[in-house]
Amino acid sequence: AQSVSQHNHHVILSEAASLELGCNYSYGGTVNLFWYVQYPGQHLQLLLKYFSGDPLVKGIKGFEAEFIKSKFSFNLRKPSVQWSDTAEYFCAVNARDTDKLIFGTGTRLQVFP
């Protein structure tokens, strides 16, 4: 069965620090990959997605993610975080031969000024 692992459960950073959140999935076939974000008190919303093409994907608010097929990974990065990036981040994977979207457990990011 497919699964998604987010090993960082809680990350605490100071403003301007660089961010990398890990996401690994278990599925050998072709996948669509997503990062969703949930800001405090707000709805879960799409941050970025990868379907094909350039494995480095740019999303909103300066976030990017890199798909490394050989490592089954889709890590989220931001060179310099801001206090407003405090949120919970969810990685999600869809195996293209299914219609299921599988979410990870989420990573809570706290950014201090």
Partner 1 sequence: ETGVTQTPRHLVMGMTNKKSLKCEQHLGHNAMYWYKQSAKKPLELMFVYNFKEQTENNSVPSRFSPECPNSSHLFLHLHTLQPEDSALYLCASSQVRDPAYEQYFGPGTRLTVT
Binding site for partner 1 (CB under 8 A): 4, 9, 32, 42-46, 49, 51, 90, 94, 99-106
Pair 44, 36: CB distance under 8 Å: yes
C-beta closer to partner 1: residue 2 or 73: 2
| Cβ(110)–Cβ(12) below 8 Å | yes
Q: Minimum distance from CB of 49 to partner 1 (Å)?
A: 7
Instruction: Find the shortest distance in angstroms from Cβ 53 to partner 1.
Output: 14
What is the amino acid identity at position 45? Q
Q: Which residue has the tokens 């605490």?
A: 12
Whichever of 69 and 96 has its CB closer to partner 1, that residue is: 96
Nearest approach, Cβ of residue 44 and partner 1 (Å): 4
Q: Which is nearer to partner 1, 75 or 94 (CB)?
A: 94
Q: Provide the β-strand partners of residue 33.
A: 50, 93
Kindly state the smallest distance separating residue 18's Cβ from partner 1, in Å: 26
Taking the alpha carbons of 100, 104, 105, 107 in that order, is the dihedral positive or negative? negative
SS3 35: strand
Q: Which is nearer to partner 1, 32 or 73 (CB)?
A: 32
